[in-house]
Amino acid sequence: MSTVLILTVVVLVGVAIWQMGKIFEISQLGAKSKVHSGVANDEDNKYNGLLIFLFLVFIYGITIFSFARYTKFLLPVSASEHGLDTDQLMWISMVIIMVVQTITQFLLHYFGYKYRGKTGQKALFFADNDRLEFIWTIIPVIVLAGLILYGLYAWTNIMDINDDDDPLIVELYAQQFNWTARYGGEDNVLGDASVRLIDINRANVLGLDESDPYAEDDIIVKELHLPVGRKVNFYMRSQDVLHSAYMPHFRAQMNCVPGMVTQFSFTPTMTTEEMRLQPEVIEKVRRTNKIRAERAANGEPNSEPWEFDYLLLCNKICGKSHYNMQMKIIVESEEDYNKWMAEQRSFIETVAPVQ
């Protein structure tokens, strides 16, 4: 693929140089040498029309190639309830875009060839056509209105953050360049917190208000565990700059803004182990480990075998180590989640006493 791109760039540079030479030649109209008049004749228009068709073939060809080669990278398997609606909305939008693009690009290039300039032929100009303008206005209005209404419906369902169905309450705390998660503990209620209360010396890394009784049983961890099939309400804060909590397999993304709390909610539907058994995940692991094995054979670092995990990523460029800002997410059964939670220490057990 790299070779093809390099050859393409070389060809385009050559064409650009050739065109610059033609421009220079035309600019020398006063010279004695025989040059083109600069006015397109029938032969020029014919070649331009054919080139337009060739470009149309190129557009269709690169589109088909891209879908055949890269479609599997568009969206990973959805692992949340609302992810199905999100995926359906995306594919409907993609189909409409492709149909409209195919028809309009064909007509654009076809008319460019059919109505190319010819000697003695004059263009017929219509000042207006009410019926035609009505058709090409009302159709996009109907299609776009349908997409907008469907999008608003999906957005309303996704952003319906409430306490129905006893949701798990989790805070995602962002800072350059790592994530920290906080659970509400036994009462499933997060204690008050502020960046002004952060005290590294006493292990109060999230700035919890120690006078708030709800903060005492909060649990602070560096690995996010979620029970499958249970709704999770996320509350997100940032300590320093704008971050974005992005969990692609759960179709979840929300900005983490300094000075305010943002929210997002979803219900995971597939455990980590179940996701690892998905055919596309197995294939991705196979391809990745094949590449890593080749690197290991060459003595390259960071080439150990890879295993799939859900990840929480930052999707806003937040500094030089933005690429490395991620946290592992484990989705497991309710039983395994409760067992893991029982092993964690509460905030009151970890914070150092006031001297």
Cβ within 8 Å of residue 107, ≥6 positions away:
none
Name the more confident of 67 and 254. Answer: 254
User: What is the average pLDDT across 35-50?
Assistant: 72
CA neighbours within 13 Å on the CB side: how many for 54?
Answer: 6
User: What is the average pLDDT across 109-119?
Assistant: 81
* Confidence grade of residue 247 (pLDDT, cut at 50, 70, 90): very high
Name the more confident of 222 and 163. Answer: 222
Cβ within 8 Å of residue 28, ≥6 positions away:
35
Q: Provide the pLDDT for residue 354.
A: 57
> Quick check: 256 pLDDT over 50?
yes
Place of tokens 């590449």: 291
* Confidence grade of residue 32 (pLDDT, cut at 50, 70, 90): very low
Q: Extract the tokens encoding 218.
A: 């909060």
Name the more confident of 158 and 255. Answer: 255
Between CA 113 and CA 169 the distance in angstroms is 62
Cβ within 8 Å of residue 239, ≥6 positions away:
173, 174, 175, 176, 195, 198, 258
Q: Do the Cβ atoms of 79 and 331 come closer than 8 Å?
A: yes
For 121-133, the pLDDT digits (tens) are: 777 777 777 888 8
> Quick check: 248 pLDDT over 80?
yes
User: What is the average pLDDT across 48-75?
Assistant: 82
> Quick check: 245 pLDDT over 60?
yes
Q: Provide the pLDDT for residue 136.
A: 83
For 163-195, the pLDDT digits (tens) are: 878 899 999 999 999 999 999 988 899 999 888
CATH architecture of the domain 168-350 equals Sandwich (2.60)
Place of tokens 């930052």: 314
Q: Start-end ranges of CATH 2.60.40.420 in the chain?
A: 168-350
User: What is the average pLDDT across 125-150?
Assistant: 85
Lowest mean pLDDT among 61-65, 207-211, 350-354: 350-354
Provide the residue type at 35 as one letter. V
* Confidence grade of residue 221 (pLDDT, cut at 50, 70, 90): very high
Q: Provide the pLDDT for residue 19.
A: 75
Q: Provide the pLDDT for residue 38.
A: 59
Q: Provide the pLDDT for residue 267.
A: 92
Average pLDDT value over all residues in the chain: 85
DSSP state of 37: -
Q: Extract the tokens encoding 24.
A: 């220079």
Q: Extract the tokens encoding 175.
A: 């800072």
For residue 58, say if its preceding peptide bond is cis, omega within 30 degrees of 0.
no
* Confidence grade of residue 29 (pLDDT, cut at 50, 70, 90): low
Q: Do the Cβ atoms of 180 and 235 come closer than 8 Å?
A: no
For 302-340, the pLDDT digits (tens) are: 778 888 999 999 999 988 999 999 999 999 999 999 999
Q: Provide the pLDDT for residue 20.
A: 76
Q: Provide the pLDDT for residue 231.
A: 93
User: Does the model's pTM come out above 0.85?
Assistant: no
